[in-house]
C-alpha cells in the first residue's frame, strides 16, 4: 500500500494530540453540534489554543467538529428574527458566551467573521471561504432555534466541542503573520459580506450544515455515522487528495503492550492474550470505506470509539499487526459528514462557485437569503 510508505514519517507526531478534540460518538440526532463542527475546520498560522496549533499552520485540520451535546428539540424564536421566503429564522443579532464567561450581544455577520476566521484558513480560495460562511451562518440559525442547557443564557458559545469555533478579530489578526493580516482580513470580510443573509434550508428550515476537514474520496452519510437519515447529509464524492491536503495520510503506531494497556483500560472484558495478530477481527465498513465496527479481543467496538481511543484523525483506517506492533493507517481528517473543507477548496481552485460547492455537499438544500448583487 503506497500511501503507507508515504505516511510513515508522520507516525508518532500525530498519535496522541490530534483527535481528542474531534471525535464524535455515534449518537442519534438531534444534537447541537459544532460544524466541523467540525468539527470537524482547518486553521492557519496561529490557532485558538496549543492543541489546535498542533494541527498546524499548514491547515491540516479543523478547529471544530460536531460533538453531540444536550440541546433540546424546541424552536426558540428571537424578536429580531428576519424571515426567509420559507419562514426559516435568520437572526440579526445573537448572544454569544465568550471564553471568559461573559455574554455579549453581537450582530450575526460580525459573529460570523470570527467563526469563518477560526474555522477555515484565510489562505483558502475565496469561493471556499464563501461556502464556509454560508455553512456557518446556516448552522448558527440551526443552533439558535434550539435551546441549549449547556448555556441557556446565550444562543451560542465559542467552544468548538459545543457550538462553533470563534476568534475575536484582535486575536485572529495577532495570530496571522503580520504581512498577511490585511489580505486575510479582507478575504474573510469579503466572504461574509458576499453571502450576507444567505442560508441553506431543507423543507423550509435551516439545515444541519456539519462539515469536516478532509474526506477519503467520498463523504459519509448521517445515517451511517449518527443513525439518523438526513437526505442532504448523504455520501457524495470529494475531490481532495494527498497532493492538495497536508497529512492526508497518517500513521499511528503502538507497541502491542501499549495498545493492550490502552484498550483494556476502556474495555476490560477484551481478551488480548497471545500474539497481537489475532486480536482484530474483520472490520465492517460503510460505503465510503470508513470503519463502522470491528471486533478487538472479542469485544465489538465502533470505528468512532476506536478512533477516539487511539487518537486517529478519521474513522477511515486499516490496522496492521506486526510481531509486536499495532499500526493504524489513516486517510482524511474528521467524521466525514457534510462539506469537506479541503474538498471545497479543491473544487474552488478548479473553478466551482460557492453555490456549486454547497449544492454538491448538501444535495437537495435550497440556498435562500439576501446576498448583495
Mean pLDDT across 298-305: 96
Instruction: Using the CB atoms, write b or e for 213-236: b if 16+ within 10 Å.
Output: bbbbebbbbbbbbbeeebebbbbb
Helix (H) or strand (E) holding 254: strand 249-255
pLDDT band per the 50, 70, 90 thresholds, residue 233: very high
Task: Give the C-alpha separation, 9 to 14, whole Å.
Answer: 10
Evaluate the CA torsion angle 69, 73, 77, 82 in order and state its sign. positive
The more confidently predicted of residues 86 and 78 is: 86
The pLDDT assigned to 160 comes to: 87
pLDDT in tens, 129-158: 999 999 999 999 998 888 778 899 999 999
Mean pLDDT, rounded, for 166-191? 95
What is the structure's pLDDT at 371?
54
SS (H, E, C) 307-328: HHHHCCCCCCEEEEECCCEEEE
- Identify any residues that bridge with 357 across adjacent strands, giving them in sequence order: none
pLDDT band of residue 46 (cuts 50, 70, 90) is very low
User: Could you tell me the pTM of the whole model?
Assistant: 0.78
d(CA 32, CA 142): 8
pLDDT band at 44 (very low <50, low <70, confident <90, very high): very low
Q: Which residues contact 130 (CB under 8 A, 6 or more apart)?
A: 191, 194, 195, 354
The more confident residue out of 303 and 1 is 303
Inform me whether the pLDDT recorded for 82 exceeds 80. Answer: no
- Cell numbers for 247, please give them: 497529512
Whose CA is closest to 115, among 172, 175, 60? 172
In eight-state DSSP terms, residue 237 is B
102/108 Cα distance (integer angstroms): 17
pLDDT tens digits, residue range 57-71? 233 333 333 322 222
Torsion angle, alpha carbons of 272, 276, 277, 279, to 10: 20
The rounded mean pLDDT for the chain is 80
Q: What are phi and psi of 23, to 5 degrees?
A: -75, 145
pLDDT of amino acid 261: 97
> What string of DSSP letters covers 44-106?
-SS-SSHHHHTTTTTT-SBS---------S--PPPTTEEE-TT--EEESEEEEE-TTS-EEEE
pLDDT at 161: 84
Reply yes or no: is the peptide bond before residue 30 cis, omega within 30 of 0.
Answer: yes
Amino acid at each position: 500500500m503506497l500511501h503507507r510508505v508515504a505516511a510513515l514519517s508522520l507516525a508518532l507526531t500525530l498519535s496522541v494530540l490530534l483527535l481528542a478534540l474531534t471525535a464524535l460518538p455515534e449518537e442519534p440526532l438531534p444534537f447541537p453540534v459544532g460544524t466541523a463542527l467540525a468539527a470537524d475546520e482547518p486553521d492557519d498560522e496561529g490557532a485558538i489554543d496549543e492543541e489546535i496549533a498542533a494541527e498546524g499552520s499548514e491547515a491540516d485540520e479543523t478547529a471544530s467538529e460536531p460533538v453531540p451535546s444536550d440541546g433540546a428539540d424546541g424552536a426558540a424564536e428571537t424578536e429580531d428574527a428576519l424571515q426567509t421566503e420559507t419562514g426559516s429564522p435568520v437572526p440579526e443579532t445573537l448572544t454569544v458566551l465568550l471564553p471568559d464567561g461573559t455574554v455579549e450581544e453581537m450582530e450575526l455577520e460580525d459573529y460570523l467573521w470570527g467563526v469563518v476566521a477560526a474555522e477555515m484558513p484565510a489562505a483558502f480560495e475565496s469561493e471556499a471561504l464563501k461556502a464556509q460562511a454560508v455553512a456557518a451562518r446556516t448552522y448558527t440559525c440551526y443552533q439558535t432555534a434550539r435551546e441549549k442547557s449547556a448555556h441557556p443564557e446565550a444562543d451560542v458559545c465559542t467552544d468548538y466541542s459545543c457550538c462553533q469555533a470563534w476568534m475575536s478579530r484582535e486575536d485572529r489578526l495577532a495570530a496571522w503573520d503580520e504581512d498577511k493580516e490585511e489580505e486575510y482580513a479582507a478575504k474573510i470580510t469579503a466572504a461574509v459580506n458576499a453571502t450576507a443573509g444567505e442560508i441553506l434550508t431543507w423543507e423550509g428550515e435551516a439545515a444541519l450544515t456539519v462539515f469536516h476537514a478532509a474526506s477519503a474520496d467520498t463523504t459519509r452519510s448521517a445515517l451511517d455515522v449518527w443513525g439518523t437519515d438526513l437526505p442532504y447529509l448523504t455520501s457524495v464524492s470529494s475531490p481532495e487528495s494527498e497532493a492538495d491536503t497536508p497529512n492526508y495520510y497518517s500513521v499511528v503506531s503502538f507497541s502491542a503492550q501499549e495498545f493492550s494497556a490502552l484498550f483494556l483500560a476502556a474495555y476490560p472484558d477484551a481478551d488480548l492474550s497471545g500474539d497481537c495478530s489475532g486480536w482484530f477481527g474483520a472490520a465492517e465498513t460503510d460505503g465510503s470505506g470508513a470503519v463502522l465496527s470491528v471486533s478487538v479481543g472479542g469485544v465489538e467496538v465502533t470505528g468512532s470509539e476506536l478512533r477516539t481511543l487511539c487518537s486517529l484523525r478519521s474513522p477511515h483506517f486499516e490496522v496492521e499487526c506486526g510481531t509486536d506492533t499495532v499500526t493504524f493507517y489513516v486517510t482524511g481528517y474528521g467524521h466525514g459528514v457534510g462539506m469537506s473543507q479541503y474538498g471545497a477548496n479543491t473544487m474552488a481552485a478548479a473553478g466551482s462557485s460557492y453555490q456549486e460547492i454547497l449544492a454538491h455537499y448538501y444535495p437537495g438544500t435550497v440556498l435562500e437569503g439576501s446576498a448583495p448583487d
